Amino acid sequence: MTGLQNSNGLETADRYYAQYGSRAKELKNEGRKVIGYMSALTPVEILTAAGVVPLRLKGFMDEAITKGDAYMETIVCPFVRSVFDAAIKGRFSFMDGMVLPHQCDSMDRTSDVWSYNLGLPYWHFLNVPHVTDDPSIEFMKEILRVFIRTLERFTNAKITDEAIGQAIDDHNENRRLMRELYDLRKSNPPLISGVEMMKVLVAAMSLPVSESSALIKNVTEEVKKRKAPADGDRKRIMIIGDQIDSAAIAEAIESAGAWLVVDDLSIGGKIYWPEVDKTADPLQGIAERYLRKLKIATTFVGEGNTYEENLEARFGHLRERITGFKVDGAILFIYKYCDPYGFEVPAMKSYIESAGIPVLYLEDEYSTSTLARVKTRIEAFLEMIA
């Protein structure tokens, strides 16, 4: 075990952020199997129940793609390309396997590229549906069963319903702890900065759930002891997007004179609010969370009787965050070549603006090389809403 109980939480988060995957690598050296996974759509409860070390994969915004483009087209999502580039360069060479969920075309259509070129001992493409009706829930349970069977074969150990139930409890607890930490951002000024929070979110997704929870607890206790900083008159910003996992973006916002107080990102707000319900068949609860509760652009939501009802079902949670965290402005940060999020922009932008909140839409690469331009846009936005 790590000495997390006695450590400085923020310092530990900073270390795990800077040395991403280092804890998984340590655990690998201790004989554990490490399974990397992409996206908020991978049911991490199953990996936890299998006794492997789940590691959510990330890219490295400050590193140029130097090898990946020889294997993967530049029309693919720049985030996916960055992760692949890191993987092919050996940044995750300690991984025993990988799970790629069917989130979007950039993942689905490159599945062969990953599996063939990484040549990992374990590989699984999880074919998550895009719709949420009852047949889709049943189908999701079927593909979860296939996923479980492949993991059982790989680990040579049975994954029991009891183990899945325990994993559900542990991950739900983890989510509650993270939401408590988010609550400390509701004050004005927030007790934890956006840059610090980004590092905690990234560190948390690199750890087994028990260690992740311990880290979050430590950070929360540490932050609670802080006195609120004096400069409370900054604008309070929310960031929306998929996997934005670099503190550089938060830094760009906060160094421009704002507080980043909340997010709707797939490593943050999107995954820490919805929990898995306890159900007789644990796969039912998992299927429902990942299909019906996770609000990500690759899941079609449109069962309402009117367009307005559909908008509420898709984006209503944003309004709750805006109110709860007293948001003054929202930044919609979408990666280039992203059809699922890109097609949402007009609807989401007008929905948020209808709540009286100005929106800055940024389309960009997954790279710090373009951050100067991004920062200029953010500064102009903050001036506009001042």
Partner 1 sequence: MAEEKKRRAVATQTAAGIPKFVRGNLAATLKAKEEGKKVAKAFIHDGQDEIMRAMDIVPAWGESFSGICAAKRDAEKYLQKAESDNFSRSLCTYATCHIGFEMIREELGGVMPEGAPWGGMGRPDMILGNGQLLCDPRFKWPQALQHYLRDVPVFVTNMYYPPWDPNIDHHEQEGFYVRYCTEELHETVRFCERVTGKKMDWDRLAAVVELSDRTWDLFVDTYDLRKAIPTPMDTGDAMNTMVPITFNIGTQEAYDFYVELNNELKQKIAQGIGVANPEKYRIIWAAGLPSWFALNDFQYFNSKGAVFPVEVTYRDHEKIEKLDLPKTDDPLEHIAWRWVRYWTHWYDAARKIPGSTPKVARIIEYIGDYKCDGVVFHSAFSCRSWHAGIIHQAEVLRKVYGDIPILIMEGDIVDISSYNEADTHNRIDAFIETLDAYKNKKRN
d(CA 281, CA 267): 27
Q: For residue 13, what are its two tokens?
A: 């988060």
Task: Break the chain down into helix, strand, coil percent, rounded to 5.
Answer: 50, 10, 35
Give the position of tokens 């609550």.
183
Measured from the CB atom, the residue of 62 and 309 that comes closer to partner 1 is: 309
Rg from Cα positions in the chain: 20
129 is an interface residue for partner 1 by CB under 8 A: yes
Q: Are 34 and 94 in contact (CB under 8 A)?
A: yes
Q: Which of residues 85-104 bind partner 1 (CB under 8 A)?
A: 102, 104
Out of 25, 56, 58, 124, the residue judged to bind partner 1 by CB under 8 A: 124
343 is an interface residue for partner 1 by CB under 8 A: yes
Out of 30, 112, 231, 233, the residue judged to bind partner 1 by CB under 8 A: 112
Amino acid at 57: L
72 is an interface residue for partner 1 by CB under 8 A: yes
Q: For residue 227, what are its two tokens?
A: 């006195």
363 is an interface residue for partner 1 by CB under 8 A: yes
Measured from the CB atom, the residue of 113 and 385 that comes closer to partner 1 is: 113
Three-state SS at 259: strand
Lay out the site mask for partner 1 across 161-200 (x = CB under 8 A, - = otherwise): ----------------------------------------
Give me the sign of the Cα torsion angle 210, 120, 66, 375. negative
Cα–Cα distances in Å, from 46 out to 160, 201, 209, 218, 274?
10, 20, 12, 26, 16
Measured from the CB atom, the residue of 184 and 355 that comes closer to partner 1 is: 355
Amino acid at 307: Y
345 is an interface residue for partner 1 by CB under 8 A: yes
Out of 11, 26, 62, 133, the residue judged to bind partner 1 by CB under 8 A: 133
Lay out the site mask for partner 1 across 137-166 (x = CB under 8 A, - = otherwise): -xx--x---x---x----------------
Alpha helices in 119-226 (DSSP H): 134-155, 161-183, 194-204, 209-224
Strand partners of residue 54: 35
302 is an interface residue for partner 1 by CB under 8 A: yes
300 is an interface residue for partner 1 by CB under 8 A: yes
Cβ neighbours, 10 Å, residue 232: 12
The residues binding partner 1 (CB under 8 A) are: 70-73, 75-77, 102, 104-106, 108-113, 115-117, 123-125, 127, 129-131, 133, 135-136, 138-139, 142, 146, 150, 297-298, 300, 302, 306-308, 310, 334, 336-340, 342-347, 349-350, 361, 363
